[in-house]
Structure 1
Amino acid sequence: MDRRKFLKGSALLTGLFTLNPADLLANGLKEVSNPKKKAKNIIFMISDGMSSGTLAMANLYSQNILSKNGNWMNLYHENKVSRALMDTASASSVVTDSAAASSSFGGGFRVKNGVLNIGANGEKYVPIWQKFKKAGKKAGCVTTVTITHATPAGFCVNSDSRNAENEIAEMYAEIGFDVMMGGGDEFFNPSKREDKKDVYGLYRQKGYQIFTNKGDLKKAEKGKKILGVFNSGALPYSIDRTHIPELQNTPSLAEMAQTAIDQMKDHPEGFVLQVEGGKVDWAAHANDIAALIHDQLAFDEAVKTVMDFAEKDQNTLVIITTDHGNANPGTIYGPDATKNFNSISNYKYTNEYILNAIHPDFNLQKMKDWIYETSKISLADEEAKYLLSFYSGLEKQEAGLYNYKKLPFKAYSEIQKKHNSVGWISMDHSGDYVETAVYGPGKELLPAFIKNTDLHYLMLKAAHI
């Protein structure tokens, strides 16, 4: 890529775009010639907060319990992808948050944690989905958290704060993205917004179809843009959706990805799509092994959906990665490690659901019965008393990201560890190098070790933009 031509073209998109040479094309990607075959479409898949242990345990569960290898792992076994380790740091820390991480992919520059494509001196880096929209492609995002959350937003908008989700909801409509699906009704619904603004109405005025449940996916009209908002807050965890009937009207990540692909695949200029398994990150924050494994497996089903299309299409670049690690979970050595790990197949619900159902009026036996009913774990009396103490105020309530109800996630995961041989280093992000796999036109551009910003330029180069 001619760097001067690239920067000149980028400057046309924003008067505030500035160069940070130290962050640009860290591995010399600009010196690599354009791939012989141009990528017409790009699908960028992110299992948010996926440490390497998460990938390993989900695949182990798939092998041991489901009797099959995972789809992501099969891409390695069948040598279908280029593979790299990726450095995930942000401009402000060796440990990134999702906003800075997505901005690295989306804007091509490392920014401080908490902001979206805004440089240290106020520079506005053009988000990559806007670049592709300007080039004539359709663009969209699907996620299992709020569609206005940091990871989709990092590919789409500039904002001083990742928390400005009300404003981000409006930005999407103004820019005109073609398919946006996830949770976050509170950012669109006038009855839930403090300013009472009807953001759904704004989308309808612009010709969008508004989807609110899984059944709506089958009603998609070709040629019309889609806004799908299927829940207040994030979508349910996969394991809870499986076992709780009232949650089954929300779509899976694979179903949203399939609808998005079908909606955009016939566009003459092609499309770009981000697919995020956002609740993998939330499960890691909660040290919730059932939530973690089953949402990673749901992401893996989306990998199959995407790869089925890409292998047939042969014009689609697929990038599969994560934005950062979280909590570094892993299996622990011991004589019963395999048996203990396999016992996770007895878990019917997330820890969030289990712990949220406990009340201060539970007695010791009721607590023990409830834990056995939901996970086949036989609590000792002392363990049951310890858990109950969090509900009677004897133990200090736990804090933590996405733990709005102060549930004792850490306490319960420590009890589970004795039974399932899974440990965690923390309840927060980690700075580990992470897996990246690339398939399709442009996969030869991937070096063995990259910075997160490199994927921005790899996408542009693969698409000859």
Structure 2
Amino acid sequence: MLKRSKKTVAMLATAAVVLSVPAYAATTGPTVQSQENQAKNVIMIIPDGMSLPATTIARYMLDGNENGQTKLNMSNYYVGRVKTTWAGGPITDSAPAGTAYAVGHKSTSGALGVDATLTPKATVLEAAQQAGKSVGLIATSEFMHATPAAFSAHDKARGNYAAIAEQMLNQNIDVLLGTGATKVPAATLDILATVEAKGYTVVDDRTELLATDATKLWGNFSNFLNDKGNMSYDIDRDPDKEPSLAEMTQKAIDVLKNDEDGFFLMVEGSKIDWAAHANDTIGILSDTLAADEAFKVAVDFAKKDGNTVVVSATDHGNSGITLGHYDLTGYDSAPFSILAPLREATKTAEGAMALFNTEKSNVNDVLRAYGIEPEGYQPADAASSDRTTKNNAKVNALIETFKSTKASGDLVKIMNQLAYIGYTTGGHTGEDVAIYAYTPAGISKAPLKGLHENTDVANFMASVMGLNLAQATADLFVEVTDREGATIADNTLTLTENGKTLILKANQSTATVDGASVDLQGEVAVAINNRFYVPQSALDLLQ
């Protein structure tokens, strides 16, 4: 494992930190808190965009008896709720949402790893690395997407994929599983070549992932339906080619657990959010259940290990999904079977649409894959007072519309009408979200009970590992923009002090001092908002 050098106990213990709210915030260095209040490992699972009603509906998707009594794996670990606001309002973008969980500060829309003034702040992942722990990131989106990037990069704009990817590549992350190597033009940044040059074992499919015993692992898995730089929804994936989120979680744990100093792992079920944007109920439920299986893997390990905390919370709500909509008249007499159509689907809308042949003449195959009967539902008298009869008339009209347009947006409307699933929007929503946690003996869940700010979650994770986010920030991000002897040009710092000259490019972790190359062990320089920040370790080279 590539590990950063640990700071001395004295350095770690010096900075007392005043944080805004929680009593459990890390106010001292990593070695100060009593060991019985600490865990070596923390696993955070983020089912991105998973509104609470999605978990309710997922139980019915899972429950063949239709009565909703089957529990999700996470159900028994519910501890409280999280407010999902960002610095400027009640409904957050994924970048500041992930940043709140990663650094413990509210941020601005689109910004990653920074506070509301666009000043970089150390993430839980970076602080864990400073303490000598191994670290990993998993996502079903491209790896530089908002949530994984929030834990491992610092930028004012989440769309700056080249700079974000460059930072992440230079962070010395031990395990990174997801996809997205083609999302940046190779002429700008050849991601795979860089990954291989840094000594990673690269795996491209499920078979390679399960077989490898690499200790430095990079997964680049394609969506074999469309190869658009993200992984397939769980229900759509080819299990011979793409690993599940649970399998990726298990592999990451198997690699990281060998570090005697512990590890931090963030796992994101990225595409719940994408399905919610599309109002694709099947996609939401598919990947909610996949994230739930990943949660089980994490908790099963934590119970055996005895030194691991597992935390799970979505970063924000999305879509306003509800069980029941305006056409569910007589709702108090509706049977469990109204949700049965959800279990007929074998593909998400994305997966079903991928079945179209070139001429798009096989529309019936697409409908059946999405759980819809192409010939419609009877009886279908719109004038009837019977709820099912009236609804079937609307469903049949939507089927005919889809046969004409062959548009994904029209396909999802059919299932939502058929199963009485309502939506208020195709965007994010501002409700509080659930938080789930498993803690081993000696570590209390109490700090997460009740209603909390999203920033509190970062502080809890840091505290339980004995980490000090403020000290890590001071170590990793020293501003040198106006420092005497510094010049900045072409995103590169040249700093002369004590007769020595340091040259360090933004997004890089290799410096030169008087022409000699020095590896900063994954500590990366950052240029953001016309300011330049370098790790203290780089400045120490000039002493």
Task: Give yes or no for TM over 0.5.
Answer: yes
Alignment of 1:195 with 2:193, yes or no, is no
Give the number of aligned pairs: 417
SS for the counterpart of 1:272 is strand
1:422 CA drift (Å): 1.1
**Which residue is equivalent to 1:322?**
314
1:147-199 CA-to-partner distances (Å, cap 9, x unmatched) read 11111111111012111223222212211010000121214xxxx71525322
Q: State how 1:352-367 maps to structure 2 within 5 Å.
A: 352-357=350-355, 367=363
Alignment of 1:113 with 2:128, yes or no, is no
- Point out the more displaced range, 433-442 or 312-321: 433-442
CA–CA distance in 1 between the matches of 2:20 and 2:147? 21
1:369 CA drift (Å): 6.2
**Which residue is equivalent to 1:395?**
none
Q: Tell me if structure 2 keeps the 8 A contact 1:34–1:461.
A: no
**Which residue is equivalent to 1:181?**
177
Alignment of 1:225 with 2:216, yes or no, is yes
CA–CA distance in 2 between the matches of 1:255 and 1:281? 21
- Point out the more displaced range, 319-328 or 118-127: 118-127
1:283 CA drift (Å): 1.0
Alignment of 1:264 with 2:256, yes or no, is yes
CA–CA distance in 1 between the matches of 2:133 and 2:26? 26
Kindly provide the amino acid, as one letter, of the partner of residue 81 in structure 2: L
- Point out the more displaced range, 116-125 or 452-461: 116-125
Kindly provide the amino acid, as one letter, of the partner of residue 339 in structure 1: S
SS for the counterpart of 1:175 is coil
CA–CA distance in 1 between the matches of 2:100 and 2:26? 20
**Which residue is equivalent to 2:344?**
346
1:35-66 CA-to-partner distances (Å, cap 9, x unmatched) read 83311000001100010101111123223459
1:31 CA drift (Å): 9.8
**Which residue is equivalent to 2:281?**
289
**Which residue is equivalent to 1:390?**
405
Structure scoring higher RCO (CA < 8 A, sep ≥ 6) equals 1
CA–CA distance in 1 between the matches of 2:56 and 2:35? 32
- Point out the more displaced range, 166-175 or 51-60: 166-175
Seen in structure 2, the aligned counterparts of structure 1 residues 438 and 381 have a Cα distance that, compared at 3 Å, is closer
**Which residue is equivalent to 1:312?**
304
Structure 1 or 2: more helix by fraction: 1
2:153 to 144, 153, 157: 157
Larger radius of gyration: 2
Q: Structure 1: any 5+ residue segments left out of the alignment?
A: 1-7, 13-18, 77-82, 392-406
Q: Tell me if structure 2 keeps the 8 A contact 1:65–1:342.
A: no
1:75 CA drift (Å): 3.4
Kindly provide the amino acid, as one letter, of the partner of residue 353 in structure 1: G
**Which residue is equivalent to 1:425?**
424
Kindly provide the amino acid, as one letter, of the partner of residue 59 in structure 1: R
CA–CA distance in 2 between the matches of 1:412 and 1:290? 11
CA–CA distance in 2 between the matches of 1:39 and 1:373? 45
**Which residue is equivalent to 2:413?**
414
Kindly provide the amino acid, as one letter, of the partner of residue 454 in structure 1: D
Kindly provide the amino acid, as one letter, of the partner of residue 152 in structure 1: P
CA–CA distance in 2 between the matches of 1:330 and 1:235? 26
**Which residue is equivalent to 1:55?**
55
CA–CA distance in 2 between the matches of 1:317 and 1:284? 29
Q: Structure 2: any 5+ residue segments left out of the alignment?
A: 1-10, 28-32, 377-394, 468-543
Q: Tell me if structure 2 keeps the 8 A contact 1:99–1:162.
A: yes
CA–CA distance in 2 between the matches of 1:203 and 1:372? 42
Q: Tell me if structure 2 keeps the 8 A contact 1:59–1:69.
A: yes
SS for the counterpart of 1:26 is coil
Q: Tell me if structure 1 keeps the 8 A contact 2:355–2:365.
A: no
CA–CA distance in 2 between the matches of 1:347 and 1:422? 15
**Which residue is equivalent to 1:398?**
none
Seen in structure 2, the aligned counterparts of structure 1 residues 173 and 358 have a Cα distance that, compared at 3 Å, is closer
1:119 CA drift (Å): 3.1
Structure 1 or 2: more strand by fraction: 2
1:238 CA drift (Å): 1.0
1:26 to 21, 25, 48: 21
Alignment of 1:125 with 2:147, yes or no, is no
**Which residue is equivalent to 1:299?**
291
1:204 to 159, 172, 196: 196
Q: State how 1:33-44 maps to structure 2 within 5 Å.
A: 36-44=36-44
Kindly provide the amino acid, as one letter, of the partner of residue 459 in structure 1: M
TM-score (norm 1): 0.82
1:109 CA drift (Å): 0.5
Q: Tell me if structure 1 keeps the 8 A contact 2:273–2:318.
A: yes
TM-score (norm 2): 0.71
CA–CA distance in 1 between the matches of 2:372 and 2:38? 52
SS for the counterpart of 2:267 is strand
CA–CA distance in 1 between the matches of 2:267 and 2:459? 19
Kindly provide the amino acid, as one letter, of the partner of residue 232 in structure 2: P
